[in-house]
Amino acid sequence: MTRIKIISSAALLLAALVCLPSLALAGDVEKGKALYMQNCSSCHGDTGAGDGPTGAALPVKPRDFGDGSFKFDTDGDGKSGTDADLVNVIKNGAMKYGGSPLMAPLPHLSDENVADIIAFLRSLKK
């Protein structure tokens, strides 16, 4: 069972690597969760509701990741919240796209870190 899981996630990863950037990222939800708890939950909250201790006090509240709805269309493809949009907001910050400077750029995260975090964000959708 675990073996099948490993093989299928390896296959998925390979498929994603081959097709990047057009296809969905194949991040690791568990690793993403750990990174999220370190870097994001103070504002976005443990469940992504935007109710972290810092987030609750912000003038512009982050959206509830549980809704799965997103604001920024960073690449102008007419859709907000695509993987590319999330990567851009996380790496470059929201201010670059007309959003709050409080969503600061997080350039220290590797592409793999960002893919893992996005996998976790997607898993929060109720």
Residues that bind ligand HEC (CB under 6 A): 39-40, 42-44, 54, 58, 60, 62-63, 70-72, 80-81, 86, 89-90, 94, 99-100, 102-103, 106, 117
Token digits of residue 105: 């750029």
User: DSSP character for 55?
Assistant: G
Cα–Cα distance between 2 and 8 in angstroms, integer?
10
CB neighbours of residue 94 within 10 Å = 21
Least distance from ligand HEC to the Cβ atom of residue 12, Å: 21
For ligand HEC, the closer of residues 2 and 78 by Cβ is: 78
For ligand HEC, the closer of residues 24 and 60 by Cβ is: 60
